[in-house]
Structure 1
Amino acid sequence: MAQVRFWDSGKGEIKVNGRDYLRYFPVFELHDALLTPLRAVGKDGKITIEIKTVGGGLRGQAEAARLGIARALIALDPDFRKSLKKLGLLKRDARKKERKKPGLKKARRAPQWKKR
């Protein structure tokens, strides 16, 4: 889950949980994912963004932040919706962890079975 706040007149900084996004996300691929919505609308380096993320791993947090940034940009200017939707930046990843079932070790992993 990510909560995004932004200021249109800023230095162009991006902070994630109080730290610079380059230090918070160690993988370049995640930096790129975070900046994709800004590049799509031409606001890269022009907006100061503060992101608070909770839960999941780094990739899930980066994708949640990307969705939050895209939605915040639409709140700033509804004309951005078309270009963001075209790139698929307004879709939420709906996959959830499957629950553990009784009698199984994990969600689908059954205990080892011995025929004889």
Structure 2
Amino acid sequence: MYESKQPYFYGTGRRKHSVARVRVYEGTGKITINGRDIDEYFGLETLKLIVRQPFAVTDTVDKYDIVCTVAGGGVTGQAGAIRHGLSRALLQASDEFRPLLKKEGFLTRDPRMKERKKYGLKAARRAPQFSKR
């Protein structure tokens, strides 16, 4: 789709177990995720909104095209990872975006992870059902 010679800005985003490698090109606002269009990749509108948030904050909605590869985790984690990577890539495009993105918290890697399962329990904190008899 894009020639390797075309200049781009790069950012890596992470959320839960998802890792997104985001390339931002000068363009018209087209978003491609794992070779598919954003509307085809994400079913929920909220996930599409999460991915587009950095553009809305920086007023660059139709100025850049995104090509990203995302792996691991579920759809929500992947959307958050893309947002994180896109924010980092936009910083390379212009340092003027830093205060806007930082204020919204898009540059911070969300540290929340799934709690591990403990022995004797059914999940991280879920105890087996109590039986009187």
Normalised by the size of structure 1, how large is the TM-score?
0.89
Q: Which structure dedicates a bigger proportion of its chain to strand?
A: 2
Equivalent residue number for residue 57 of structure 1: 74
CA distance in 1, matches of 2:78, 2:42: 9
**Which runs of no fewer than 5 residues in structure 1 stay unpaired?**
none
Measured against aligned partners, the alpha-carbon deviations of 1:59-96 in whole angstroms (never above 9, x if no partner) come to 11111101110010001111210111122222222111
Give the one of 41, 44, 48 matched to 1:31.
Answer: 48
CA distance in 2, matches of 1:5, 1:15: 10
Equivalent residue number for residue 14 of structure 1: 31
What is the percent sequence identity of the aligned residues?
A: 47
Equivalent residue number for residue 14 of structure 2: none
CA distance in 2, matches of 1:19, 1:59: 17
Give the one of 104, 107, 114 matched to 1:87.
Answer: 104
CA distance in 1, matches of 2:58, 2:93: 11
> Aligned to 2:101, what secondary structure does the other structure show?
helix
CA distance in 1, matches of 2:104, 2:131: 51
Normalised by the size of structure 2, how large is the TM-score?
0.78
Could you tell which deviates more after superposition, 105-114 or 95-104? 105-114
Q: Which structure dedicates a bigger proportion of its chain to helix?
A: 1
**Which runs of no fewer than 5 residues in structure 2 stay unpaired?**
1-18
Count of residue pairs brought into register by the alignment: 115
1:7 partner amino acid: Y
Measured against aligned partners, the alpha-carbon deviations of 1:29-61 in whole angstroms (never above 9, x if no partner) come to 111111111122222121111111112221111
